[in-house]
Amino acid sequence: MIRVILPPHLRTLAQVGGDVELEVSGQVTQRSVLDALEARYPMLRGTIRDHVTQQRRPFLRFFACEEDLSHESPDAPLPDSVASGKEPLIILGAIAGG
Amino acid sequence: MNKVRVLVGTRKGAFILTSDGKRDNWDVSGPHFAGWEIYHVKGSPVDPNRIYVSQTSGWFGQLIQRSDDGGKTWQQPGTPAGQPATPGPPKSESNKFVYDASAETGRPLTTHQWYDGTQHPWEFKRVWHLEPSLNDPNTVYAGVEDAAIFRSTDGGENWKELSGLRGHGTGPKWQPGAGGMCLHTIILDPSNPQRMYIAISAAGAFRTDDGGKNWKPINRGLHSQYIPEPTAEVGHCVHHIAMNPRRPGVLFMQKHWDVMRSDDAGDNWKEVSGNLPTDFGFVIDVHAHEPETVYVIPIKSDGEHYPPEGKLRVYRSKTSGNEWEALTKGLPQKDCYVNVLRDAMAVDSMDKCGVYFGTTGGQVYASADAGDSWNPIVRDLPAVLSVEVQTLG
């Protein structure tokens, strides 16, 4: 079971209170986790990555195991501790604006 | 007794203000979608409980929300109201706005003019304005940044560009205004379902007479000193256009500078700024029952976005422009430095026409006597981006 922590606004949108837990089949990558997240919570489509280009929105970052994974390939395997559910994948909004 | 519902979009959420026909006492509901920028909230004239919302964020992009019960509950079109969506493939793509680049339906138009004169690709940023159809609650138009018009015929679940607007030929000459290159005004002609007007900053006004397939610029008579060719066919920074449904051929325009009127459906414009203290501003609207009575709120200049002399004054013309009177009763007449943005004025259709506007200082002012006197409904909302009014039976 993969754990994902969403930023507060997206938790509200998805109507979830805490961490999201997802079953991901196959290799655990940013893409496969986001695919599973959007399948479970379709209202999040387009809010984390662009509908068409599938690129991460510029003011969002992906962290796990105290590392910034934002610029990793979306198809690169996520750390084993994320794949095992020990550590969450954190989707974080940049601190910007007012 | 009639009720009035004022739909307010702000920088940090939507608010719904309701009152009976006296418009003395108001209930305030909100914030809805707290923390998000709400560019526009508008109800269907066919089904007033059907309300569309443009919800947007620099972080999370664009969302469309819809209520079918007058704003009590909301859903992203295509997802069930009030509960998490069913797992599985999304049933709609209510926030997917993809520019049409196909050769079949439009020209593969891919660039517009950037601030420095170079060409720049079209990039979707947000929905500025939602205009529900006059006769079908499931049909709604969206004016977006970068400027284009989209239409949904399934209640906002899916959107398709009316690509004839960008494809008609002048697109590469359009350029962003200070607020971005936005299509902010959509006016549907009640006497002719095939006719529609739109306005873009900074491109100008356009009209279709065939339901959105073909468009033409309607900017003859506009004069903009800030562009290389002041009377060019396109490139004008039109801030807003208003029309009284009873007189659909007559349009009023607040341009970047200049207040204009057209008596021939936009084919020709003439300036009607008259005795205004400044003819810069954003909002313009027309009295619900008196098509020759027009309202504007003059703003000092494009460099100083606040009322001249620190006095918040609505100006009313009962002669379709040129002769204007200041309306000040109930409005701050000193130390007021708020702005009133382009979609932040509306009128109701009560017997005594109500006029409403919202400010960047978070006040929403209402007049129940056609502008003679004003009262704040609320004083301390986030900066107001848009105001619409529904008159309910």
Tens place of pLDDT per residue across chain B (393 aa): 689 999 999 999 999 999 999 999 999 999 999 999 999 999 999 999 999 999 999 999 999 999 999 999 999 998 765 555 555 555 668 999 999 988 776 566 778 999 888 999 999 999 999 999 999 999 999 999 999 999 999 999 999 999 999 988 899 999 998 889 999 999 999 999 999 999 999 999 999 999 999 999 999 999 998 888 999 999 999 999 999 999 999 999 999 999 999 999 999 999 999 999 999 999 999 999 999 999 999 999 999 999 999 999 999 999 999 999 999 999 999 999 999 999 999 999 999 999 999 999 999 999 999 999 999 999 999 999 999 999 998
Instruction: Indicate yes or no: CB of B36 within 8 angstroms of CB of A9.
Output: yes
Per residue in B184-206, pLDDT (tens digit) is 999 999 999 999 999 999 999 99
Q: Tell me: domain B3-392, CATH 1.10.10.10, correct?
A: no
pLDDT for residue B103: 73
Spell out the domain ranges in chain B.
3-392
pLDDT for residue B168: 87
Q: Which of B59, B87, B96 sits opposite A51 (nearest CB)?
A: B96
Q: Report d(CA B14, CA B384) in Å as an integer.
A: 9
Q: Report d(CA B149, CA B328) in Å as an integer.
A: 37
Q: Report d(CA A40, CA A13) in Å as an integer.
A: 13
**pTM score:** 0.95
pLDDT for residue B140: 98
Q: Is residue A53 part of a domain?
A: yes
CA dihedral B25, B31, B33, B35 (to 10 degrees): 140
Q: Which residues of B touch A47 (CB under 8 A)?
A: 60-61, 63, 95
Phi, psi of B173 (to 5 degrees): -95, -5
- CATH, residue A50: 3.10.20.30
Q: Report d(CA B317, CA B298) in Å as an integer.
A: 13
Check: CB of residue B12 under 8 Å from CB of residue B29: no
The domain tally of chain A equals 1
Q: In B193-344, where do the E strands start and end?
A: 196-201, 204-208, 216-217, 238-243, 251-255, 259-262, 270-271, 281-286, 294-298, 314-317, 325-327
Instruction: Indicate yes or no: CB of B90 within 8 angstroms of CB of A45.
Output: yes
Q: Which residues of A touch B73 (CB under 8 A)?
A: none
Q: Report the gap between the CA of B322 and the closest CA in chain A (Å).
A: 41
Instruction: Indicate yes or no: CB of B93 within 8 angstroms of CB of A45.
Output: yes
pLDDT for residue B380: 97
Q: Is residue A74 part of a domain?
A: yes
Q: Report d(CA A5, CA B326) in Å as an integer.
A: 54
Q: Which residues of A touch B78 (CB under 8 A)?
A: 42
Q: Report d(CA B218, CA B206) in Å as an integer.
A: 5
Domain carrying residue A11: 2-93
